Amino acid sequence: MEWPISEVARMSGVTARTLRHYDETGLLTPSRIGAGGHRYYEERQIVRLQQILVLRALGVGLPEIGRILTEQVDEVAALRSHRRRLLAERDRLDTLAGSVFRAIAALEQSRKDGRPMTINRPENLFEGVEPSQYEENMREFPGLAEELGRRAAGMSQADADAAHRARTAQMIRLAELMAEGHPAGAEPVQAEIDAQYRALAGLRAVSAEEYRAIGRACVDNDTWHAAYEAIAPGLAAYQHDAIEVYAATRLS
């Protein structure tokens, strides 16, 4: 049995434009191309598309997906490998959910007692959050990615862990401001965004449009979006909106 590209797009939720891009890059070649250049797909291509989408959901880039699928020519072996990845990701998300729960408990207790938040083991807040999910996705911004890679290469593990904890702490502070009802343009929020911008600008100059693109990635990039939403629902859009305000008022 075969399906036209429009039907494959409908079934998978992937746009026809994306499917054509997968074909052009050799990632997913249709079973045949009919009259008028219309692409058609059979069962084997549908299974391969599922594998691509699973790996994309796990944050794997398209070049790496192509390498993985090329090396794993046995579809059953490939699917088993993807299942192991999914189970590992499920376990990581379960751990991350526990970390967020501990942060919520500490915040609620501090509000109840009217005292500053205290955490007996702050490292517990960072269980399940992997530093690589941020650096890997900076590849969408080549100049910054190159500089981040160069800096990371010279870091000790302790320094890398500290930098990661600082980034996650920024996300938690922003989540607290959101929970308190501050709009994205409020001064405390913009102060946090300014600190984030200055950290990036310390690597190299970052234009207003580049910073806006990073803000959009918080919503559009699946891995980034999941990381923000794991801290607090709505945080990805809140970060995006705050960056938009900052770029418009301070970088224009």
Mean pLDDT over each residue of the chain, to the nearest integer: 78
Answer for the pair 101, 107: CB distance below 8 angstroms, yes or no. no
d(CA 119, CA 99): 12
Dihedral angle sign, alpha carbons of residues 216, 218, 223, 225: negative
Cα end-to-end distance, the chain, whole Å: 55
pTM of the model: 0.47
**Average pLDDT value for residue range 228-234:** 82
Provide the pLDDT confidence category of residue 42 given band limits of 50, 70 and 90.
Answer: very high
Highest mean pLDDT among 158-167, 183-192, 219-228: 183-192
Q: How far apart are the C-alpha atoms of 175 and 104, rounded to whole Å?
A: 11
At residue 87, the pLDDT reads 77
Q: What is the pLDDT of residue 142?
A: 55
